[in-house]
Chains A and B, each alone.
Chain A
């Protein structure tokens, strides 16, 4: 990367942005396990259980 006039550390910016792209659905997957379906989808009856 020296010939481009860039330090290797700059590469962490796009890598971290990409990490967010990959982590966001994984985070949603984890969090939605604790959320009622009626908060996620329109056509579902309101839940009465213990979900958040």
Chain B
């Protein structure tokens, strides 16, 4: 048990951080919420009450509908691709091969690179130019005789977001591999041995034993990758710039707020992003806290 004096000291030491978090995180969230309910347009603050008008306008805005569609495509391809690729890589590395640490480091390395650098490199790789100016992956495919794979990448109508997601998969699948591999290593070896004695094949062991036991790992990866994809901004800017075809809510928020000075609309988009991320994160945090507090 802490003495009263120690308890008092602890509160004093922690309070500056708590005050900073309350002001700079929750205070500014509340301020953004207030701005989103105002008529602020232009450089001069205008807190005239506008109710939920900005939100209603957004949901009837065709550009915001494109943003939602693009976000869904990006999230589906990115999260699905990272989970599948990460799991397959972890299964292969779990076989105790020679050179495992080399492959593990290689697959994890892209995570150390910023989204902007990844975006610039993948913009060069996914250059959609054809003919004499063909370069990057298209040139590689053409030289290898894989002409059906030559495509317009992120300039493809409708599915251009999937090409952007490819760069994100390259960056984050190593992370998924690492957490799946850590999860696999924590599963007692006796379980696999028992299954083998019962006549289970390796595929059945992974399908019926390993994968269900890795459900919490999958959930963690799903939440982390999911909230990253909802906030994606820099990767798209680095690969394609500001294009309506590849627009997402974060880019719309930037343009509405800083290019168009529609502060109230920008704040409304920010609040929608916050709520969509919170819908993912809060149940996960509650689940984690609950499982951590169990003896």
Bound complex: CA A8 to CA B93 (Å): 11
Known: A3-B202, A8-B95, A22-B110. A28 touches B121 (CB 8 A): yes
Give the secondary structure class of B's interface: helix
Bound complex: CA A3 to CA B95 (Å): 13
CB distance from B90 to the nearest CB of A (A): 12
Give the secondary structure class of A's interface: helix
From B106, B124, B133, residue with most partner A Cβ within 10 Å: B124
Bound complex: CA A14 to CA B97 (Å): 13
* Residues of A close to B118: CB separation below 8 A: 25
A4 touches B203 (CB 8 A): yes
Answer whether residue A47 sits at the interface, using C-beta atoms and an 8 A cutoff: no
> Which of A8, A18, A24 touches B107 (beta carbons < 8 Å)?
A18
Known: A8-B97, A19-B103, A21-B170. A1 touches B109 (CB 8 A): no
B residues neighboring A (CB under 8 Å): 88-89, 92-93, 95-97, 103, 106-107, 109-110, 117-118, 121-122, 124-125, 127, 129, 133, 135-136, 170, 174, 196, 201-203
Q: Which 5 A-B pairs have the closest CB atoms?
A: A3-B201, A25-B121, A29-B121, A11-B92, A3-B202
Knowing that A3-B201, A15-B97 touch, tell me 15 more A-B residue pairs with CB under 8 angstroms.
A1-B95, A3-B196, A3-B202, A8-B97, A12-B97, A15-B93, A19-B106, A22-B106, A22-B109, A22-B170, A25-B122, A26-B109, A28-B125, A29-B117, A32-B121
